[in-house]
Structure 1
Amino acid sequence: MKKLFFILVLSFVSLASFSQKLINIDGSSTVYPITEAVAEEFQKIEKNVKVTVGISGTGGGFKKFCIGETDISDASRPIKQSEIEVCQKNGIEYIELPVAFDGLAVVVNKKNNWVKYLTVEDLKKIWCPESEGKVKNWKDVNEKYPSKPLSLYGPGADSGTFDYFTEAICGKGGASRTDYTPSEDDNVLVIGVANTEGGLGYFGVAYYEENKDKIKVVPIHNGKEPVLPTLENVKNGTYKPLSRPLFIYVNKNSAKKEEVKKFVEYYLSNASIFSKEVGYIPLPDEVYKLAKERFKKQITGTLFGGKAEIGMTLQELLKIEK
């Protein structure tokens, strides 16, 4: 009798596991906190759905997405032309949906008392390819700075943050010196800068907000005065050129599944709340309304022509979405 009971229990567990539906998501480490927060709450409502959220970077996420390995791809930049072509080759149609707005924070070690702000030209001098092997000391950046080793930490080449930053600062996506410590995990970058007196790095502002007790943010001077990447400055468009929209891309075939449809609808209905909770800028209600309509009508393709829009404001995003 005990044996029969045990078999019945095992059969029930196996059946429950088998009936559980899976939504597979991967991509941007920047978008990850929003998607993970949405996934956690969604799974409380839809208990028979399991949502997995990975971090391969925007580029790494699109590699999986465009061969049909994932249902949804998190992205901190619009899909590139090369990625569009891979998706087309594999018959993957996608729905592009903006979910939040973000700024990139440039950060230094807490003990750094010499940098009051950095200009875009300073960032070029620090990060662009021609600086490799030449700009190795803070004094190389500005002769007024002390002679201390400059240790750089930044996203890897598969990161949308890397693509966006290099295009905004160096004029071409992917144009960067290579003698720095790369990671797709922003927490690794935070730890690197926090543990190195001469450290400097960059990543999404939400990760700075989460770790501001460990590192220091640097104002960026690109006009009248130095500007901090506060939520208000990102929102009003004064923090340029390091502000950008964030996206999710949904496989059109996956969107036909009831669980994916429900998840995306839940995401768009609550993106404003969750993006604010994790330190990003919610989009205007009108943009979310347009995104919902876009998903409902299953409108595929990108509005951005396969390239990033540098320093875009919320108002400019709204014009594109219209």
Structure 2
Amino acid sequence: MSKKNINRSVVTFVAGVTLAATLASCSGSDTKPSTPSATSPAATTTTAAKEPAKEPAKAPSNLSGNITIDGSNTVAPISKAVAEDFAKSNPGVKVPVGSSGTGGGFKKFCSGDIDISGASRPIKAKEAEDCKAKNVDFVELPVAVDGLTIIVNKENTWAKCLTVPELKTLWSPDSEGKVTTWDQVRPEFPKETIALFGRGADSGTFDYFTEAVNGKSKAIRKDYQPTEDSNIIVKGVQGGKGASGFLGVAYFEENAKTLNAVEVDGGKGCVAPTTDNITSGKYSPLSRPLFIYVSKKALARPEVKAYIDFYLTSTKLVKEVGYVNLPADALTKVVARFKAENVGSTFMDAPAGVSVSELMAKDLK
């Protein structure tokens, strides 16, 4: 899964150019004060107040080492953004972030090959058994909430809202080779040829979507275009009037000018994948938590503990990347679980659409 790329270096560059221009404009003794714009504060005749003294930059820490992360590339952009900010005060710690998919990440994690596994779905019972067999105890930490978004081509003016049964008509294994035009999904829709794009079988997004829509993980028609790269889904749906696909909300928001998001009726009316609806669980059954799983053995290393502590307090980065922050009560429980290093899962085998706060209150298993 490739993720939304936060081009933070561009922001830094622009800020640098702006600062340079400002210094240059102030360098001459005959320079006249500029006239304030309509959006700037009104000019005054009094001497400008001095800026408050800035806090001195924190000295770099003495921490060092390598922290290995792999797994979901839905989660990877958050982990990369956190790693980038973490490195500013911890230059001796290297945090490479891979993105081999949720399933691929758990294989490496449960073999003891990596410290942290990103996941866009909860760990499965078989994966937990594999971890146990290798003596890999893990701490399960939700870090954000995502809304799986149904996207259609910008010229699709008919599929503004779909019910879960209609989504199943589109994506069910029984529809393979049979449901090929939109009027078969709903009679009043046009007879436009359907082209479907979605995540591949190694993706946690795929597992969650198929379970939520088709009632069984990995159950899906085979005549769609699978990929581990959500950008390919975007391009595919952009390329045909009758095209549709599913991906994380961050990818839709990044391409909202060229795609439409379909509202989903989970039984209580049409609901759009907005921040409020995703956080509250109203966008059901397609709102889901995103996770990192941390090896308890790795947590014994100070650099790993410092990174996770930094991760759980970097809520602004979650929003920057395009995801939704955990509700405050849920985040408090996540931080408490991390500090206590409580191992096990409360999300494994949980039905789609249950809130993070509710699942955090359950007993670990």
TM-score, with normalisation over the residues of structure 1? 0.89
Shift of 1:266: 0.5
Structure 2 Cα separation of the partners of residues 171 and 203 of structure 1: 18
1:5 matched residue in structure 2: none
Deviation at 1:307, TM superposition (A): 1.4
Which whole-Å deviations, capped at 9, do the CAs of 1:1-28 have from their partners, x for residues lacking one?
Answer: xxxxxxxxxxxxxxxxxx9622111111
Q: Secondary structure at 1:53's aligned position in 2?
A: coil
Partner of residue 53, structure 1: 97
Match of 2:79 among 11, 35, 38: 35
Higher relative contact order (CA 8 A, sep 6+): 1
Partner of 1:129: 173
The whole-number CA distance in structure 2 between the counterparts of 1:73 and 1:315 is 22
Larger Rg: 2
How many Å apart are 1:161 and its aligned residue?
1.1
User: Which residue type is aligned with residue 106 of structure 1?
Assistant: I
After superposition, where does 1:154-193 map in structure 2 within 5 Å? 154-193=198-237
Does the 8 Å contact 1:26/1:73 carry over to 2?
Answer: yes
Distance 1:20 1:197, change over 3 A: farther
Which residue matches 1:316?
A: 358
Q: 2:330 aligns with which of 274, 287, 309?
A: 287
**CA displacement at 1:196 relative to structure 2:** 2.2
SS where residue 280 of structure 1 aligns? Answer: coil
Matching of residue 307 in structure 1 with residue 349 in structure 2? yes
2:163 alignment partner AA:
T
Report if aligned partners of 2:330, 2:356 keep a CA contact under 8 Å in 1: no
Structure 1 equivalent of residue 283 of structure 2? 239
Tell me the amino acid that sits aligned with residue 361 of structure 2.
K
Q: Which digits, 9 at most, give the CA deviation of each residue in 1:165-197, with x for residues without a partner?
A: 111111111111121111222112111111222
Tell me the amino acid that sits aligned with residue 78 of structure 2. Answer: I
SS of equivalent residue, structure 1 residue 311? coil
Q: Aligned-pair distance for 1:267?
A: 0.4
Deviates more, 1:261-270 or 1:191-200: 191-200
1:296 corresponds to which of 339, 344, 347: 339
Would the alpha carbon gap of residues 321 and 190 (structure 1) be closer, same or farther in structure 2, given more than 3 Å must change? farther
Decide which of 108, 116, 120 is 1:64's aligned counterpart: 108
Cα 1:302–1:38 change in 2 (3 A) is: same
User: Which residue identity does 1:124 align to in structure 2?
Assistant: K
In structure 2, C-alpha distance between the alignment counterparts of 1:224 and 1:85, rounded to whole Å: 38
Of 267, 292, 295 in structure 2, the residue corresponding to residue 248 of structure 1 is 292
The match for 2:302 is 258
State the 1:314 CA deviation: 4.4
| More displaced 10-residue stretch of structure 1: 138-147 or 82-91 | 138-147
Q: Flag structure 1 segments of 5+ consecutive residues without an equivalent.
A: 1-18
| 1:100 corresponds to 2:152 | no
**Identity across aligned pairs (percent)?**
50
SS in 1 for 2:245: strand
Instruction: Output aligned runs, 1:134-153, within 5 Å.
Output: 134-153=178-197
- SS of the aligned residue for 1:108 comes to strand
Stretch of structure 1 that moved more, 135-144 or 199-208: 135-144
Match of 1:278 in 2: 321
User: Structure 1 pair 239/26, CA: closer, same or farther in 2 (3 Å)?
Assistant: same
Given the superposition, is the C-alpha separation of residues 224 and 286 from structure 1 closer, same or farther in structure 2, using an over 3 Å criterion?
closer
How far 1:62 moved relative to its partner?
A: 0.7
Q: In structure 2, how many angstroms separate the alpha carbons of the residues matched to 1:253 and 1:279?
A: 31
The structure with the greater share of residues assigned to helix is 1
